[in-house]
Amino acid sequence: MKKIRMGMTGGGFGAFIGDAHRRASRICNDFELVCGVFDVDYERSKAFAAKEGIDPARCYENVDAMIEGELKLPADVRMQSVSIVVPNALHFPFAKKFLQNGFHLVCEKPMTMTVEEAEELERLVASTGLTFALTHTYTGYPMVRQMRDLVAKGVLGTIQRIDAQYYQGWINSIIHGTDSRITGVWRLDPKHAGVSSCMGDIGVHAFNLIEYTTGLEIKEILSDLSSVKDDISLDLDGTVLLRFGGKLKGVIRSSQVCGGEENGLTIAIYGSKASLKWSQEDPNYLYMLSDTEPTRIYKPAHGYNEKLAEESHTMPSGHPEGIYEALANIYKGTAKSIRGEKFNPGEFPTVHDGVRGMKFIHAVVESNKKGNVWISI
């Protein structure tokens, strides 16, 4: 099968997320990297392209040149999709241009800086019919997909409480450092990070994980955020109360100052018949709790799993796959969509997930600003 020709913006030397995208695209083996703008510094970009074995002629000075250059190439040589791994503020303008010129997209989150931009992209995707994948990477884990399918089958009964957490500690050491701490971290700078640090960077993953696994929409939120230090303007920590309509309530807890926490994304979905618990740091274990039966531990590569979970794990049971494979699963689903193959909802997060995420981030910030009041999403 011919590989999809993929371009990339961002992701040059030292950019771990760009490297992750390339690895994921190689793992699933449905893409080949053919061109890109890897760095704002053209020389560095070219050096990087050389290291990656990219045709020098297809290492472009900027996105406009990239579009122009690729469009000149024959259709069977031209790149088909672009992976956008630039800083947040550039996601929207770049995504818009690429869509307007007929390129499929894989875009890092947060998708845009504002809800309006997100909605504009959603309209563009709808009108162009192009594939747009947003890398909420955690939805690529087999056991997250298993959760989604178990909930969809009604195994949990009525959902009664949802509790998601995303705790990290890495900003802790930075904000307590003595040197130039704020300038050193673009995530603390509203110009680059947008309206939120903690919720925009990681809280939104917890939000997405809830909507992905349950198929429910969060209707209203009430947040209480903290900047932790006086000279920081963005949230580094917060709690968000959730309402889903009806009697169902829940909570998202998210923080970047939980010292010693590495990447503590967890979710618990409690139902009238059974409950599910999952933790990102041990992604191959899914716990099903019950009041009347022993707790069950679901693991990948077993016949008892639902279809999508099983297709998302390639090794035999007990051979742990990790986050690169989760991202590869998303690339795999995206490739199916680009090729016009059949795929299932849930194989990759869409532009609509991006719109939902932006609404969440902005509602959270607004609720906090207004004195911790309920805001509709």
Residue carrying structure tokens 């056991």 = 143
In the list 201, 325, 347, 353, the residue contacting a copy of itself (rule: CB under 8 A) is: 325
247, 307, 369, 370: residue in contact with a copy of itself (rule CB under 8 A): 247
Nearer to a copy of itself, 15 or 97 (CB): 15
Distance of closest approach, residue 368 Cβ to a copy of itself, in angstroms? 11
> Side-chain half-sphere of 114: how many Cα atoms within 13 Å?
5
For the window 201-240, what string marks contact with a copy of itself as x by the rule CB under 8 A?
Answer: ---------------------x-x-xxxxx------xxx-
H/E stretch holding 286 reads strand 286-289
Spatial separation of the C-alpha atoms in residues 200 and 60, rounded to whole Å: 30
Q: How far is the CB of 123 from a copy of itself (least distance, A)?
A: 34
Of residues 36-95, which lie at the interface with a copy of itself (CB under 8 A)? 51, 53
Tell me how far, at minimum, the Cβ of 208 lies from a copy of itself, in Å: 17
Binding characters for a copy of itself, 16-45, by CB under 8 A (x = yes): x--xx-xx--xx-x----------------
DSSP 326: H
Q: Which residues contact 337 (CB under 8 A, 6 or more apart)?
A: 104, 131, 133, 343, 347, 348
126 lies in the binding site for a copy of itself (CB under 8 A): no
Judged by CB under 8 A, the chain residues 143 through 162 that form the site for a copy of itself are 160-161
The residue among 81 and 284 lying less far from a copy of itself, judged by its C-beta, is: 284
> Which residues from 264-323 bind a copy of itself, rule CB under 8 A?
264, 268, 270-275, 280-284, 288-299, 302-304, 314-323
Residues 6 or more apart whose CB falls under 8 angstroms from that of 35 comprise 5, 7, 8, 54, 55, 58, 59, 60, 66, 69, 70, 79
Using the minimum distance from each CB to a copy of itself, give the nearer residue, 195 or 202. Answer: 202
Buried b (16+ CB within 10 A) or exposed e, 222-253: bbebebbeeebebbbbbbbbbbbeeebebebb
Q: C-beta of 221: minimal distance to a copy of itself in Å? A: 11
In the complex, minimum distance from the CB of residue 355 to a copy of itself, in angstroms, rounded to a whole number: 26
- Residue with Cβ nearer a copy of itself (106 or 143): 143
Token pair 């998210």: residue? 254
How many residues touch a copy of itself under the rule CB under 8 A: the total is 89
Is residue 338 within 8 A of residue 103, CB to CB? The reply is no
Supply the minimum distance, in Å, between the C-beta of residue 135 and a copy of itself: 13
Type of residue found at 92:
F
Q: Distance between CA atoms of 1 and 141, rounded to whole angstroms?
A: 25
Is the dihedral angle over the CA atoms 269, 157, 220, 345 positive or is it negative? positive
Judged by CB, which is closer to a copy of itself: 81, or 255? 255
Q: What is the DSSP letter of 197?
A: S
Closer CB to a copy of itself, residue 264 or residue 357? Answer: 264
Least distance in angstroms from the C-beta of 340 to a copy of itself:
18
Smallest distance from a copy of itself to CB 356, Å: 21
Cα(114)–Cα(196) distance, integer angstroms: 11
Which is nearer to a copy of itself, 122 or 366 (by Cβ)? 366
Residue 319 phi/psi, 5° resolution?
Answer: -105, 95
